[in-house]
Structure 1
Amino acid sequence: MKTRQSVIGVNLEVPNIQIGKICNNKLENLIETQIDQGESQKFILNKIADHIGDLMSEDVVGIGIGLPGLIDLEKNIVTEIHRIPSWKNVNVKSFFENKFNVPCYINNDANCFALGVKYFGKGNKCKNVIGLIVGEGFGAGLIIDNKLFSGGNCAAGEFGMIKYLDQNVEYYSSALFFKNVHKTSFTEILRKARKGDKKALKIFNEYGHHLGSALQNIILSVNPELIIIGGIVRDGFEFYKKAMWGKVNDTFFTPSTKGIRIEPRALPNLAVLGAAALYYDEQQAKVLEIEKQLRTQAEKEIENLLKNVEEGIFIIKNSLKFGSQYSAQLETILESKRLADKNFINFLKNKISNSDITTTKNYLEMMFDDSLDEKMIEELNPLDQIKVRFNESAKAKELMFSFKRIRNKNMKTTELFTMVKDITKQVELENKVKESEIKAKRQTEWVLAILKTEPVMMRDFIEGIQNEFQSIDSIFESAEQNKQYEPALLNIYSSMHLIKGNASMLDFSFFADNVHQFENKISDVLSKKKIMSKDLIELVNDYSEIKNAVYEIKEFLAQVGKLNTQIKPESNPQIVKSLENFVDKMAKEKSKKIILQSANFLEPDIPKRLQILVKDISIQLIRNSVAHGIESPKERNKMGKEDHGTLTLKSKKNQKQFSFSIHDDGRGIQIDKLKTKMQQKKEWKDINLDTLPDNEIYKSMFLAGISTSEKTDMNAGRGIGLDAVLKKVEGHNGTIEVESKQNKYCKFSIVLPLSSNN
């Protein structure tokens, strides 16, 4: 149960005194009396004390007193009171605190009036309020930015003393105006005005003009939201209001008067309520001071925390900018100084991919959307673990960002508490563990593959890869010099495609997968609008890993080779046997039935220097037939074909050339699909492809990026395999021809000259 607390307010408005008891913002008791201005200081103090004693009870926690005079607030001494000659340097505060043993607060009566407006009246929702007491004097209490402003000698707001016309503001703008100018009283003029007396109304109009001038200067000085007029002149507000507003608005600087309210005091006994408010104001000041101290202490603790934490901690505002405070470690992790108020998204640009930038922006906007469940969208965090490159030539960092909503009292997300960790070492350690596991798995695969592969085939495989590596090394080197990245990457792609085909044929699945992933990375780089030097650097690093894997194969081959030779003595190349295994493997992967017929393919006729070339071309063409040509058993049945497809391999040799062909009895070249793909390329966009003969259409198959496959996998979809074949054939001054019939067959015929001058 809440404890009852009361405050006693005293308003000394000579000769009148008001003493009230206030509880729960309500005036419960009020004593009104008068004093003789000529009485002694002691007599007056005791009289006030007696009346306070009448209202005193255990629940009274403080006393507030409003006085019409000058007050030294630092010493709590009343230096002078208007119309009480005996009051000089009176320590009112000490007198009443000793008398009643509760805190006592004193202030100028105008200041108390302003506090009354702020705490009990219409100013409770305003930050800047003026309580203007206009009787025979003209003084104001000022609430500025929710605080009572008393000035150095408690004399702030004495606007009546400002020079105006031939006198001062008080002379023309207080109730004295009616006496000084018209030799009558405010009360008399008010009485006549209420009866409609024209002269009285004219006098009020004149007064309103003077009061408006005074208010205009006050408004221009303080720019309040509300002015409440108290004192006797408030009673005539209706008669001088129009003239007053006319003068107030007659200013060159209209922003100061925009939205301002000027109203007469409506709440009775506001001065005594305001005196009691001295206690509330003091308590609020103490609370604010405690909060300030706690905030300062918390800020110091936060500052110490931010200096010492290992993580990067910062705030993201709803404008997506960095907050003003962040941990010292953040600048180290993000390799940047003076992050405050920088846009977080702009900061990440050129450090992560454009797609990650877009995803991050969308994610942060979702985090500020309170209609979305925070836990649900946490999993969508694109920066949960991300590679960030702060310098084009430097090594990228692995960073982990986490975001938590910060809500205001209305449960609206206003900021995001953000933490970032540098997990580069952790990721590197994890990668080393994974690499060790991968290496062990890879070595097991290699041992098995080496043991079941003919030694000469293994040797050819290594030799073929090394030849491709020499070509790729040269391409990378040229690209770094001439900055022609796209054609270079297309050529590298072709070489890697051949390497992948050979690895698949020998059942080096692990190695083939790595090469396929490298192809994916090349494809991603080629899809960019602009290829940068840093993209090439990353590809070179990945390429080095593939080369290292081949060196490991060579080392294994040296160790296991002797054992393999003992088990399988070296014999002539068995290209056909390897191709048969390759066909079986691909057929299973594609859920197809395929037979390889090679009775008319004479292996001994293949010149030694062409053996690797013939094998490479055969692998790519067989891959093409299995992926694109030969149908599934279900499709073949519908077309009246046998369940199994047939690949036929033939060769021929004369004194000048060696030729061979690969024929499949599949669906043939899908010329309509091929035309659709061609039409998407700019070189054919404006050409009517229906006017071209089929053999011209077939030539497009040998260009990079043309494929009739609907999806990309290990065996098809890149549009690179036949491009690689053509380059190999032309590199040996050979030719390649294509024949096809819809739903019947497709045949590739290759002719290679035997002369070594190529």
Structure 2
Amino acid sequence: MATTNNIDNKRYQGLIISIALFLSLIGALLAFTFYTSSLLERNTALIDQTNQVANSAQAVIKDLFDLESSYGEDISSPHIQRVLTRLEENTALITNSLSAIEQGGVITDNLGNRYQLPNISNDARLDVAEAKEQWNVLEPKIQTYLKDANNIMVSSADELAQAVDQAKTSSLFINESLDKLTRDVFSNAERQATTIRLIQVLGVAAIFAYFLIFVFFFVRRLRETDAEALAARRETQEIMQTVNTGLFLLDKDLKIGQQHSRALNKIVGEENLAGENFTNVLRGRISDKDLNTTKQFIEQLYNPRVKEKLVDSLNPLTKVLLHNTSGTGSDSRFLDFKFSRVYEDKDIARILVNVNDVSDAVYLEQRLEKERSQNDMQIEMLTTILNVKPKVIHEFISNTKAHIEKMNNILKNPGSSQYELEAKLKAIYRDMHSLKGDASALKLHSFTKIASDAEDKLSALQNQGALSGNDFLQLAVHLDDLLSLSNTIEMLGERINQTSAASTKAAHTTPTATAAGVRAAGAIDSTPQANSQVIGSLDFDEGEDIDLDDESDSHLLAYYQDFAQDIASRQGKEVQLNSATLEQVQIPERLKKTVKEISIQLVRNAIVHGIEPPTDRRSAGKPSTGNISLEMQSVGQDFIVSLQDDGQGIDYDSIRQKLVELGRFSLEEAEQLDRNQLLKQLFSSGFSTKDEADEDGGRGVGLDIIKTQVKESNGKLNVNSELGEMTRFVITLPKAS
């Protein structure tokens, strides 16, 4: 920008100099005019003064004659006093005026105005000298008379007679000298006036001529400049109309400049943008939070102390979704705003904004991301299918569909009262949490993510207070997503099973001769046993029914250990899950789903709430790895599930404090609760001692699920805990329905 300023300064340097000369000429002419006006004023004052001296001289002579003719009259009469006063004043005036005229001094008129008299010419000086010579003879005689004129005791007739005789002689010479002086002063003033007029005429003519030259020369220069500016503007307009991006300038008040690219209107979806406030254009089309952030971001761009590259990384309008609120024009789209500083010298003058419609690119990214997520999800599911027994997968799909169907039926059930709506909410919450637990145990994070999002909405509904039937509509989308995922994993399992069965069948039907030939060549062992090693646990014959009930529950120990390690890794803890019974236990078919849900919730609860972080355990003198014991056994008509951890135990005081914080009880009421009552609160829906919810806990649903499952199975629940030492859950479930 500095180079451009230098070019502009050179371009207008001649214009500036010419205007300065023109103004200097006018200033000089005005100064000369002021000077000549002052000179003429002084000449006029000189002429007036000479006339006044002449008139005063005539008045003096007249007054002397009047006094002589009135001699003998009472000197105190008004007539005599007036004449004497006038004679005295005129005498002093003539004396002072002649001296001022001769020396070019300062005079004061009757109104009190002071004037500086000009220096007179030599001829005028001679005239003044002659008049002054005669006056110097007359003036002493007048002063002698005036000395005793008012004294009635002294006769002043002789002095008056001498003054009158001298006045008769001197008056002619004085009048003649003053007349000559007046003529000389007037002639001199007239010559000066003529010279001044000539100089003024010449000055005006010179200024006018210079003005004409100036206008002619610079009008031509301005035409050339206008032509260049017009050509540059035309080029700019052509660029602005041609570029496919939105370009405009922003000032400090966030107003859009008058010039912007034509594509901007189409991209933004507004017609009249010039002069509009940028925030008004965006208001209602992006969130208020993004709008406030945008204003702060632009303010930082105008802050010279902030580096542009640093603040550019904070741009809130990168690939932002701009909603269409007008109802006409383009649909909502993704726009990408780039902001750059425009400098004038070292100052930030404007912000250049470059806007691009990146909707296609964003939609492509979203589609690719969706496809990538689907691929990752299928890989995740495929990994689960290949590494987990078909029985577990079958149980998960069956349980998932059962949970979804149950939640769907709950949503369909009518209910209008707050009690009914809250009951529906708690029931859905429990099923969603159970489903999430099953998915998390199999490391199906896609299921877990959808279930966690649904739990966030359920938690928000639980905290909002009053409920309505419409509040539950948003959950239908999550149920549909979960059902879709369960269908996908079921489909993948079926394809793998079909492939496995086809491979097994082909192996069994291989001709003996061919098989022998292949074995002789050392290529592959086509016996069923060899193929079983390749396929692993998914070894079925085509068309063979899978009897999942015939499989034992010996996999449970590895299943829960893997589940425990997965949770501990997310929670930053170290655990070891042990069992002496899981590898031999046979869970009754009626209780398999119930036992699984209860066990999952118990293991998660033990790791999240019971086992301490390694540093805390070492501080308490414990080994850094926490121990969890999960046992299942059949005793008579009952099936017993027990879990014990060597964690921090149940802190009943913390439960009281949390109940007060949540507003369920006052401080006094909480202090009155015994341990059994506090345990009931611990198992209530929505209560958790964890401050923040995450994938593994903190929503207050896990223990509620255990309580509900035990109650529905007509079982018993027993809890034993020692603070800082252990917690033990014992659940007894009847085998028979």
Tell me the distance in 2 between the aligned counterparts of 1:500 and 1:583: 15
Structure 1 segment 34-53 matched on structure 2, within 5 A: none
Note if contact 1:116-1:277 (Cα within 8 Å) is conserved in structure 2. no
Partner deviation per Cα, 1:658-696 (whole Å, 9 max, x = no partner): 664433221112445444544442444666633433444
C-alpha deviation, 1:375, in angstroms: 1.2
Structure 1 counterpart of 2:727: 746
C-alpha change, 1:298 and 1:520, in structure 2 (3 Å) is farther
User: Does the C-alpha gap of structure 1 residues 660 and 199 become closer, same or farther in structure 2, counting only changes over 3 Å?
Assistant: same
Q: Pairwise mapping of residues 498-517 of structure 1 onto structure 2 (< 5 A)?
A: 498-509=434-445, 511-512=447-448, 515-516=451-452
Q: Are the structure 2 counterparts of residues 459 and 5 from structure 1 closer, same or farther at C-alpha, using a change threshold of 3 Å?
A: closer
Q: Which aligned pairs between 1:652-667 and structure 2 lie closer than 5 A?
A: 660-667=641-648
Structure 1 residue 743, shift from structure 2 partner: 0.9
Structure 2: distance between partners of 1:386 and 1:720: 37
The yes-or-no answer on 1:418 pairing with 2:353 is yes
| Aligned sequence identity (%) | 25
1:550 to 2:462 alignment: no
Please tell me whether the aligned partners of residues 247 and 260 of structure 2 are also in contact (alpha carbons under 8 angstroms). yes
Which of 249, 254, 264 is the matching residue for 1:320? 254
CA 1:709–1:395: 2 relative to 1, 3 Å: farther
Decide whether aligned partners of structure 1 residues 666 and 332 sit closer, same or farther in structure 2, where only a CA change above 3 A counts. Answer: same
The higher radius of gyration belongs to 2
Counterpart contact for 2:320–2:335, Cα < 8 Å: yes
**1:557 offset after TM fit, Å?**
1.5
Amino acid at match of 1:424: S
AA in 1 matched with 2:561: E
Question: How far apart, CA to CA, are the structure 2 residues paired with 1:421 and 1:641?
Answer: 60
Q: Which of the residues 559, 562, 570 maps onto 1:581?
A: 562
After TM superposition, the structure 1 = structure 2 runs for residues 719-734 of structure 1, keeping only pairs within 5 Å, are 719-722=700-703, 725=706
CA–CA distance in 1 between the matches of 2:633 and 2:612? 25
CA distance in 2, matches of 1:530, 1:342: 43
Residue 127 of structure 1 is matched in structure 2 by none
1:341-384 per-residue CA deviation (whole Å, 9 max, x = no partner) reads 55434544554444433332321221121221111211111222
- The SS at the match of 2:539 is helix
Q: Which residue of 1 aligns with 2:305?
A: 371
* Code of the aligned partner of 2:23: G
**578, 581, 596: which one pairs with 2:578?**
596
- The reply on whether 1:397 has 2:333 as its aligned counterpart is yes
User: Which letter does structure 1 place at the counterpart of 2:539?
Assistant: Q
- Whether 1:197 aligns to 2:109 is yes
Match in the other structure for 2:138: none
Shift of 1:195: 4.1
Of 371, 375, 379, the match for 1:444? 379
> 1:221 — aligned with what?
none
Aligned-partner Cα distance in 1 for 2:367–2:379 = 18
Distance verdict in 2 for CA 1:4–1:478, change over 3 Å: closer
- Describe how 1:374-385 pairs up with structure 2 within 5 A: 374-385=308-319
Deviations 1:66-104 (A, max 9, x none): xxxxxxxxxxxxxxxxxxxxxxxxxxxxxxxxxxxxxxx
Tell me the equivalent position of 2:608. 627
Report the Cα distance in structure 2 between the residues aligned to 1:310 and 1:269, rounded to whole angstroms: 60
Deviation string 1:206-258 (CA, Å, 9 cap, x unpaired) is: xxxxxxxxxxxxxxxxxxxxxxxxxxxxxxxxxxxxxxxxxxxxxxxxxxxxx
Post-superposition offset of 1:554: 1.8
Give the C-alpha shift of residue 309 in structure 1. 3.4
Q: Please give the secondary structure, in 2, of the residue aligned with 1:448.
A: helix
Shift of 1:396: 6.0
Q: Alignment partner of 2:23: what SS?
A: helix
**2: CA distance between counterparts of 1:478 and 1:346?**
47
Q: Distance in 2 between matches of 1:339 and 1:478?
A: 53
Q: How does 1:175-190 map to 2 (within 5 A)?
A: 188=44
Alignment of 1:53-68 (within 5 A): none
Which residue of structure 1 lines up, in the alignment, with residue 91 of structure 2? none
Corresponding position of 1:52: none
Query: What is the letter of the counterpart of residue 566 of structure 1?
Result: D
Distance in 2, matches of 1:320 and 1:585, equals: 52
8 A Cα contact 1:388 1:399, kept in partner: yes
Query: What is the aligned counterpart of 1:330 among 245, 250, 264?
Result: 264
Q: 2:363 pairs with 396, 407, 428, which one?
A: 428
Give the CA deviation at 1:455.
Answer: 2.0
Provide the rounded CA distance (Å) in 1 between the counterparts of 2:281 and 2:13.
Answer: 58
What do you get for the CA RMSD once the two structures are aligned?
Answer: 5.6
For residues 123-162 of structure 1, what are the structure 2 equivalents within 5 Å? Answer: none
The residue identity in structure 1 corresponding to 2:295 is K
Q: Which has the higher strand share?
A: 1
* Inter-partner Cα distance in structure 2 for 1:745 and 1:426: 56
Q: Within the alignment, does 1:692 sit opposite 2:673 as a pair?
A: yes
TM-score (norm 2): 0.58
- Pair 1:6–1:695, CA change in 2 (3 A): closer
Q: Residues 171-191 of structure 1: CA distance to partner in whole angstroms, max 9, x if unpaired?
A: xxxx9xx9xxxxx97962699
Which has the higher mean CA deviation after the structures are superposed, 703-712 or 377-386?
Answer: 703-712
AA paired with 1:365?
E
Match of 1:116 in 2: 23
**Aligned residue pairs, count:** 535
CA–CA distance in 1 between the matches of 2:732 and 2:308?
Answer: 65
Equivalent position amino acid for 2:303 in 1: D
**1:467 paired to 2:323:** no
Unaligned runs of 5+ in 2: 1-8, 50-105, 116-201, 501-536, 541-545
Cα distance in structure 1, aligned partners of 2:616 and 2:497: 44
Is the 2:610–2:647 contact (alpha carbons within 8 Å) kept by the matching residues of 1?
yes
Distance in 1 between residues matched to 2:223 and 2:464, nearest whole Å: 59
Equivalent residue, structure 1, for 2:179: none
Helix, strand or coil at the partner of 2:334: strand
Mapped partners of 2:660, 2:473: distance in 1: 34
The letter for the 1-side match of 2:556 is: V
Give the residue type in structure 2 aligned to 1:715.
Answer: D
* Structure-1 residue corresponding to 2:533: none
User: 1:532: how far off?
Assistant: 14
TM-score w.r.t. the length of structure 1 is: 0.56
Question: Bigger shift: 740-749 or 537-546?
Answer: 537-546
| Amino acid corresponding to residue 649 of structure 1 in structure 2 | E
Do 1:668 and 1:741's aligned partners in 2 also have CA atoms closer than 8 Å? yes
Instruction: Pick from 623, 628, 633 the counterpart of residue 646 of structure 1.
Output: 628
Q: Report the 3-state secondary structure (helix = DSSP H, G, I; strand = E; otherwise coil) of the residue aligned with 1:566.
A: coil
> Structure 1 pair 373/682, CA: closer, same or farther in 2 (3 Å)?
same
Which residue does 1:360 correspond to in 2? 294
The Cα of 1:495 is off from its aligned counterpart by: 4.7
Q: 8 Å contact 1:324–1:340 — kept in the other structure?
A: yes
Matches within 5 A, 1:264-303: 276=210, 279-280=213-214, 285-286=219-220, 288-303=222-237
Aligned residue for 1:381, secondary structure, equals coil
* 2:648–2:726 contact (8 Å) kept in structure 1: yes
Cα gap change, 1:580 to 1:471, in 2 (>3 Å): same
Q: What is the aligned partner in structure 2 of residue 42 from structure 1? A: none
Name the CA distance, whole Å, in 2 between partners of 1:335 and 1:467: 49
Q: Is the 2:628–2:643 contact (alpha carbons within 8 Å) kept by the matching residues of 1?
A: no
Comparing 497-506 with 538-547, which one deviates more in the overlay? 538-547
CA contact (8 A) 1:116 1:274 kept: no
Given that 2:630 and 2:641 are in contact with CA atoms closer than 8 Å, whether structure 1 keeps it comes out as: no
